[in-house]
Structures are given as C-alpha cells and as structure tokens.
A and B are shown apart, each in its own frame.
Chain A
C-alpha cells in the first residue's frame, strides 16, 4: 500500500505567498513554517483586516471559509524561534475550496492592549469564534455587535484559557449552590431580547419570546435557543451554548500527549475512535512517526464503523423529531450489533480510546473478519428497509423538503462542512480531497444532493452509510499484514520487543510510559472528515511532555451558529426538523 498524504502543494503555497508578499510589501512581520506545510503569515493588527480581505476576495485561489479563529497565550512559551514578539496571538485559519488549500494568518497582541477589529463582514461565522476568543482569552474585537460570553456562564470571572486561570476544579473554591447563588445564576441566564437588538413588538403585533432548552427532548443535549415568534412564525432566534463545556482544550495543556487520547473520544461522543484520529495524526506529524499500513487500515475500518453508528443514531432521532417514533427502535438494534463488533475489537463500546501515537493499541482479535462479514451481510437489506420506512414516507418528506435550505455559498460563509455542505451539491469530502490514513487506496463515492434542505442532509448521510460499508468491505478484503505500531521511539507506549536486549529502548519505554513522550517544538493542524463535518486539531508543542496549546475545531460549533439564518420565517415544528437535520452533539459544540 503506498503512502501518500496530502501536504499542501509547495508550488501553490509559494505562489500564494508571492501574491501576499507583493501586495503587503513591508507589512509582513514574519513568515513561519510549520510541519503541516500550511503557509503562515504574521501581520500587525493594523493590516490584519486588509490582508484577510485580500485573501478572501482577491487572491487566486480565494479563501471562501473562515475555518477557524482562535488565540494562543504565548506568555510562557519557550520555543518561538523567528516569531514576532507577542503575548497573545490571534490565529485565523482560512480554507479555500476552489484551490483546495489553507492559509494561516497570525496577529501578535500585547496583554495590555488586547483588541483588534472584527471580521464579521468578511465571514459571518466569525461572530461566534470571536465571542469564544473573547470568552477564553479576554481579547476584544472592535465592532463586534454582541461580544458576550458564549461558553462560560455570564457570571464567570476571568478567561479560562489564559495561563493564569486555574485548570482543575479542585484548585478552585469547592462548588456549592446556595439558593441565593442559584437565583443569581438563573437571573443571569434570563434571555433579554434588548441585548440582542430585538424589538418586543412590531407595528401590528406583539412578539412572543419562547425559551427552548437547555433541557428539551428535541435539542439533543444541553442546548438552548431563544425564539422570537410572531404567532407561530419564527422571526428570529438566538442560540445559547456553553452548557456542555468540559474544558477539553485546557485539559490538553495538562494531560501528556498520550493520556489526552481518551479526552478526544468524548469530543464528538458519537464518533468514538474517529476522534482519536486527527489528534494522533497531528502528534505523529510533529514527531515524524510513519504509521504502518496495517494500523492505518485498522483505523479506517473502525472510523467507518463509528460513522455508521453515528449516522444511525442521527437517522433514528431525525425521524423521531419529525414524528416517526418507530424507526429509532429498529436502528438501535443495528447500532447494538455494530457496537458488539467494536467491543470485541477494542474492548469498549462508545469511547474505546483505542488509537495510539504511532498505531493502535492491539492487533485485531482472531475471527474479526467473520464478524465484519456478518455486518456486511445484515446491514444493506436493513438500510433498504429504512429507506422505505423513513425516506419514502410522505409525511417525512412534507415535513423536511424545502425546510431549512441553504446554498453552497451560504454554507461556505457559515463554515458548514460535512453532509450539510455536500447536501448543497458541492462534492467535497476531506477523505477524497486530501486523503489521510490511506483513504486514497479505497474506492468509494461522495454522495451529494441538490437542494440543501433537511431532507437532503438526511439523504446524504443515508447514502454515506452505504459508502462506509464499501470501505469496510475493502478493509476486510485487503487488510495488510505487518505491525500495528510504529518502531519510532516516540510511539506510545513503545513496542517492547527490543526492550529486554538494549538499554536505549528500555529507557525510551520507561520514559514514554511514566512521563509520556516529549514531542519536538512544532505547530501542526490535522483535519479529518468526521461524522459531522471537518474535525481538526491544531496543536502547539513547546518541546515538552504536554501540549502548549490544543485547539479543537469542531464542525458542530459552526453548524449551530447558522440556525437563525436558515430558520427565519418557518414555524416552530420546522425549527425542530432543522435542528434534527443538522446532526450535532453538544460536546462537539462546546468541547
């Protein structure tokens, strides 16, 4: 099996840098090279917006999507060779779909003066990313219409991802909830329409404000959305998130590279080991580990099984939310059967945490192929049956067709990836466009749809399950022989074969197991086509046993932000169909 991973075409990236250099001569503070090959340009905040506008509108290729926006607290970072002086760095990660390439723009800021202009008018999805950066770092974005806390409670003191903020709950005052405190917190959570520029009445009617969530059967977890209603018609909506913030990014600064793996499982908790993949790939990239072909294929096979599991849950709850109660009872049977297989391979159901830096935890158990064969036999007829039950159902069609639709440009503006993007007709799958972990060796199609409505988003996912089965079949038939873990010394835990013969290997083993591996100072972004869209890990290593900064870009965060945009003018039941069709989990939103 050949090893070919997508690295940004060096020619394309130098052509892009050339354009930037010409236009912004003398204004570029530095060009940084990172091991993922994504061109990274440092620019002063006075020029930042002009550069971002230039990249968005004028360069070839254009950067249609603000893929990610975050910051790094650089104050205690040691390895910053060649980077401009900065205490807080704001990082813009842009993505071009026309040119299939990325660029990173970094803006240095000093702690005493943490502000820079907003970019909402370039990319509307910057809104939430900027609020998050304010919430986590205290960086102000001038011109932002509602720069409120988004993730932490409104009563919170401090900014969690600053290095001086405590990480552990046990370092802070023990939590207690007195009646007075509860009243204060509840008061702070009260939705105030005026804060969001909403009127309480129009010329001919008074609006009703309806609070949906944070606990509601159809919001799939702890998610709240405040609705402004004119009768039954939705005038506007304000999603409120942060009820599921588990501090996964701060956790990365404390756990060793190896012991962070289980935390990644719980990001998109329906994706299981698929979440491990971008993380371990990112660490492997920094450490320079080449993963054996067998491990890569095992990873693909398990990731695709989890994709089916996740899509089945989506399929069932989608049908349930639009009023069909039985499909979910059938689909959970299939899900259980797949979990049985996963359990026999990994030893756990939902969160196996089974991938390792440099490979996977164990080889496949004897008889695995028999169980996969069973899966390949029982699934397809069941999927056909579900098509008849759900997709051909007239009520489901009427509830979802033409509801919550958006086109490709809107999707790119709002940072939508995954099935939601493909449902608009853009054939863009990370596994095809930038193959990783050996996806270039598999034959599969990228299902698309045309209308971009709720029904199409579901239809795309249904077809993706069939494609996943195709991939699993190819994995089964062509499983390469060989090792499941790399021989590289930073592989964790390292193979013990030579450990009893030479002291060097034994020392490596001991250190990797007790302290964890020391990853060389680097920066890297690794992305995958996860169950819900593009999931990406941006890791900054400062040459130690833990990550200096772990940034997790999750698809659901971007998707939720779009809800008001696509649900205006519909009725409340349509909103439920829209929420169901997005397929999000709150852990994937708030992390």
Chain B
C-alpha cells in the first residue's frame, strides 16, 4: 500500500501545466484492497495491555514516557483491561504463582492478539533457574516477538514493537467472523535478528573505550 506525505511548505494549490483534478485525486483518494487497508490499520494501532511483572516493566514504562514516546508508533493507548487491548507485553519474570493469572489475562484479550516476551526471564527464565519461576512464558503462551536483555533497554522494546508491526503488516486475516480454522495467512516468518545482523556485528572491529564518557 502506497501513500505519500506532503510537507507543509509544499504548495497545495494546483501547479500551472498540471491537471488540477489529477492532483486533487492523488492527494485525497487512495486505491487499495480492503484487506491491505485493514492490515495497515491493524499494524499501526496496536493497543498494549497495561501489564507488568517486574523490572522490565519499569523499562517498558520508560518506553511509554517522554524520551522514548511509544506514541510515535501508534501504541500509546494503554488499556487497563485486557478486553480492550490487542497486545500483551510479558514484561518481567513469569512466576509459577502468577502463571494462571497471566493465562487468564491472555485468554481475555480479544482476537487478534499478540504477545511480546520482554527480557530474559520471560524469554527463558534467564538468570532465574529457580523453583518459583516458569522457564519462559512460551511454556504456556504463544509468543510473537522475543526481546532480549536484562532488562532490555526501552529502545530494544521499541525495536521489538516495530518487528511485531512488520509481522502484523504481512499478515492477512479474514475480514469477518470465521468458524474453526481462522485462515490466517502468514506471508513469511520474521527473520531472527541474530542471523540478519550477524554480518554487521562481526564487521565491527573498534568498540568505544569504556574509559571515557
């Protein structure tokens, strides 16, 4: 789906020699398939559920606030109830006592719904291989994007969100209610970042010295 943005300085009046009608149509009418339009809207208005478990939630809150400003990605509408949200960020350690609660909240999210697993604990248990911690939220929830770090920087969460948006943009879902198989078409899987960025990372030969600020 293509569209263009116009800067404010650009003349909005018709140019000599140009076709007034064409210009007007180009600026105001967009031809698009309905399912592309829906998927574009879906991609750019992910409403996250206000849910946090531990340290990662503080970094998630940092992503919401002024410096990082999640609103730039259309995700600033944080919902207090799962019934109004599309996405849950599992921000923090998943405890065994908390697991049934997390599952219940996930079940209450309305379809279509997505899960970002934020931080090492939610990804795999991380440094907490301990009796009270579930070794990764994917033991009982389907996860769409894993964000690594302990805790991940807010920028990392933003990147995770962008990856999720791209994935949602590629998805095609039926436009109406469907019984049984949902008929979701996943065009291609999101590439693993470790693989796609490996060449860049290996190419880095000089790292900044920690000895100055």
Q: Tell me if A381 is interfacial: C-beta within 8 Å of chain B.
A: no
Q: Report the minimum CB–CB distance from A420 to chain B (whole Å).
A: 21
The answer on a CB contact under 8 Å between A176 and B54 is no
The answer on a CB contact under 8 Å between B210 and A365 is yes
**Within 8 Å CB of A160, what residues of B?**
131-132
Q: Report the minimum CB–CB distance from B190 to chain A (whole Å).
A: 26
List residues 120-141 of chain B with CB under 8 A from any CB of chain A.
125, 127-135, 139-140
Complex Cα spacing A250 to B129, Å: 11
Among residues of B, the one whose C-beta sits closest to the C-beta of A341 is B213
Complex Cα spacing A185 to B101, Å: 9
The answer on a CB contact under 8 Å between A177 and B100 is yes
Complex Cα spacing A554 to B5, Å: 54
The answer on a CB contact under 8 Å between A170 and B98 is no
The answer on a CB contact under 8 Å between B130 and A247 is yes
Q: Report the minimum CB–CB distance from A530 to chain B (whole Å).
A: 16
Q: Tell me if B39 is interfacial: C-beta within 8 Å of chain A.
A: no
Q: Tell me if A367 is interfacial: C-beta within 8 Å of chain B.
A: yes
Q: Tell me if A313 is interfacial: C-beta within 8 Å of chain B.
A: yes
Q: Report the minimum CB–CB distance from A100 to chain B (whole Å).
A: 34
Among residues of A, the one whose C-beta sits closest to the C-beta of B130 is A247
Among residues of A, the one whose C-beta sits closest to the C-beta of B102 is A215
The answer on a CB contact under 8 Å between B132 and A152 is yes
Complex Cα spacing A170 to B52, Å: 25
Q: Tell me if A378 is interfacial: C-beta within 8 Å of chain B.
A: no
Give the contacting residue for B50; candidates A176, A217, A347, A368; CB below 8 A: A217
List residues 169-203 of chain A with CB under 8 A from any CB of chain B.
169-170, 172, 174-177, 181-182, 185-186, 189
Residue interface bits B186-213, CB-to-A below 8 A is 1, else 0: 0000000000000000000000001111
**Within 8 Å CB of A341, what residues of B?**
213
List residues 146-175 of chain A with CB under 8 A from any CB of chain B.
152-153, 160, 165-170, 172, 174-175
Among residues of A, the one whose C-beta sits closest to the C-beta of B63 is A332
Residue interface bits A329-359, CB-to-B below 8 A is 1, else 0: 1101101100001001101011100000000
Given contacts A243-B101, A350-B55, contact A175 B134 (CB under 8 A): yes
Q: Tell me if B143 is interfacial: C-beta within 8 Å of chain A.
A: no
List residues 317-339 of chain A with CB under 8 A from any CB of chain B.
328-330, 332-333, 335-336
Q: Report the minimum CB–CB distance from B53 to chain A (whole Å).
A: 6
The answer on a CB contact under 8 Å between B66 and A182 is no
Among residues of A, the one whose C-beta sits closest to the C-beta of B99 is A177
Majority DSSP secondary structure for residues of B touching A:
loop
The answer on a CB contact under 8 Å between A332 and B67 is yes
User: Contacting chain B: which of A28-36, A261-269, A438-446?
Assistant: A261-269
Q: Report the minimum CB–CB distance from B155 to chain A (whole Å).
A: 11
Interface size on A, residues (CB 8 A): 61
**Within 8 Å CB of A431, what residues of B?**
none
The answer on a CB contact under 8 Å between B97 and A243 is yes
Give the contacting residue for B151; candidates A329, A330, A351; CB below 8 A: A351
Given contacts A214-B101, A242-B97, A246-B95, contact A169 B125 (CB under 8 A): yes
The answer on a CB contact under 8 Å between A270 and B66 is no
The answer on a CB contact under 8 Å between A263 and B127 is yes
Q: Tell me if A83 is interfacial: C-beta within 8 Å of chain B.
A: no
Given contacts A214-B98, A221-B53, contact A176 B139 (CB under 8 A): yes
List residues 83-109 of chain B with CB under 8 A from any CB of chain A.
93, 95-101, 103-105
Complex Cα spacing A245 to B132, Å: 7
Among residues of A, the one whose C-beta sits closest to the C-beta of B129 is A168
Q: Tell me if B57 is interfacial: C-beta within 8 Å of chain A.
A: yes
Given contacts A243-B97, A250-B130, contact A313 B58 (CB under 8 A): yes
Give the contacting residue for A243; candidates B50, B65, B95, B134; CB below 8 A: B95
List residues 145-176 of chain B with CB under 8 A from any CB of chain A.
150-151, 153
Among residues of B, the one whose C-beta sits closest to the C-beta of A213 is B101
Given contacts A247-B130, A251-B130, A336-B67, contact A266 B139 (CB under 8 A): no
Given contacts A215-B51, A270-B58, A347-B210, contact A186 B104 (CB under 8 A): yes
The answer on a CB contact under 8 Å between A152 and B130 is no
Complex Cα spacing A332 to B62, Å: 7
The answer on a CB contact under 8 Å between B96 and A175 is yes
Q: Report the minimum CB–CB distance from A549 to chain B (whole Å).
A: 16
Complex Cα spacing A204 to B104, Å: 36
Counting chain A CB atoms within 10 Å of each CB, the highest count among B53, B55, B98, B213 belongs to B213
**Within 8 Å CB of A242, what residues of B?**
97
Complex Cα spacing A215 to B58, Å: 15
Counting chain B CB atoms within 10 Å of each CB, the highest count among A172, A332, A345 belongs to A332
**Within 8 Å CB of A247, what residues of B?**
128, 130-133
Q: Report the minimum CB–CB distance from A426 to chain B (whole Å).
A: 30
**Within 8 Å CB of A250, what residues of B?**
130-131
Q: Tell me if A501 is interfacial: C-beta within 8 Å of chain B.
A: no
Among residues of A, the one whose C-beta sits closest to the C-beta of B69 is A329
The answer on a CB contact under 8 Å between A350 and B58 is yes
Q: Report the minimum CB–CB distance from A345 to chain B (whole Å).
A: 8
Q: Tell me if A237 is interfacial: C-beta within 8 Å of chain B.
A: no
**Within 8 Å CB of B52, what residues of A?**
221
Given contacts A182-B100, A182-B103, A266-B55, contact A172 B151 (CB under 8 A): no
Q: Tell me if A587 is interfacial: C-beta within 8 Å of chain B.
A: yes
Q: Tell me if A366 is interfacial: C-beta within 8 Å of chain B.
A: yes
**Within 8 Å CB of B95, what residues of A?**
222, 243-246
Counting chain A CB atoms within 10 Å of each CB, the highest count among B65, B104, B130 belongs to B130
**What are 5 contact pairs spanning A and B, CB under 8 A?**
A177-B139, A222-B95, A246-B130, A350-B59, A362-B210
Give the interface of A toward B (CB within 8 A).
152-153, 160, 165-170, 172, 174-177, 181-182, 185-186, 189, 214-215, 217, 221-222, 242-247, 250-251, 262-263, 266, 269-270, 313, 328-330, 332-333, 335-336, 341, 344-345, 347, 349-351, 362, 365-368, 370-371, 586-587
Give the interface of B toward A (CB within 8 A).
50-55, 57-59, 61-62, 65-67, 80, 93, 95-101, 103-105, 125, 127-135, 139-140, 150-151, 153, 210-213
Given A160-B131, A336-B67, 15 other A-B contacts at CB below 8 A?
A: A160-B132, A166-B131, A169-B125, A189-B100, A217-B80, A222-B54, A246-B54, A246-B130, A246-B132, A313-B58, A332-B65, A341-B213, A350-B55, A365-B212, A367-B212
